[in-house]
Structure 1
């Protein structure tokens, strides 16, 4: 059986960087999915603009995005690895998927994904604790990527 690993943590704690390292080490087929977490009181969730998946796919070209059609195939593949990233400001209050909240659980069920491993930045020793940031407010900046570009090298993933 393949492995499904869910990692959670606050925005900016380097979940995607950890995912890249894990995906690069994995030799078999792999997939990556980013899910929005539960809306915490007074804390804004970052929007998934697709840039993390684009960057990861640039670094790991064989990377897939799991959909209902291929999620089960990846799970059945003995060498398959599916990484799911979830934004959570605080460690899950309960063990297992119950601690992830109703929105995340319903998205996982819709994709028929059942994580074998759940890790949270700042709680689990498999993830680097020193990179975990404390957030009380997420400040986000959005801009169009059309028009004049000041730093073309920063857009290398596109």
Structure 2
């Protein structure tokens, strides 16, 4: 994805903008995000806060599910389970979230997500997402990704 797509996504979601999330890919049931870690992303042990990791997992899975919808419908998270495998990273590092939609119905999609710190798998999640009727944000995403 280009820098302008990252900026447009951040404009649609001020929380992700505040975190500094970089949007890398969203197509064919897959999505990727990245984050350059800084002090603001750390917990009291100076490792990446679990809430930051869960936010990235939630978003990357939702993006993967949305990419299967011709209209780029919105989705809401119905449930999500996360397993933390090891510390997420320290300031100055970079983590990547990878999402994949592995099943879709007319109203829901089922996804998995992973957080990677280099070659280390940090966290894994599974989520169920419900498609919503087209919302204003869906129209903005449609323009952003060039869908008809």
- TM-score of the two chains, using structure 1 as the length reference: 0.24
Comparing both structures, which one devotes a greater share of its residues to strand?
2
Structure with the greater relative contact order (CA < 8 A, sep ≥ 6): 1 or 2?
1
Which structure has the larger Rg?
1
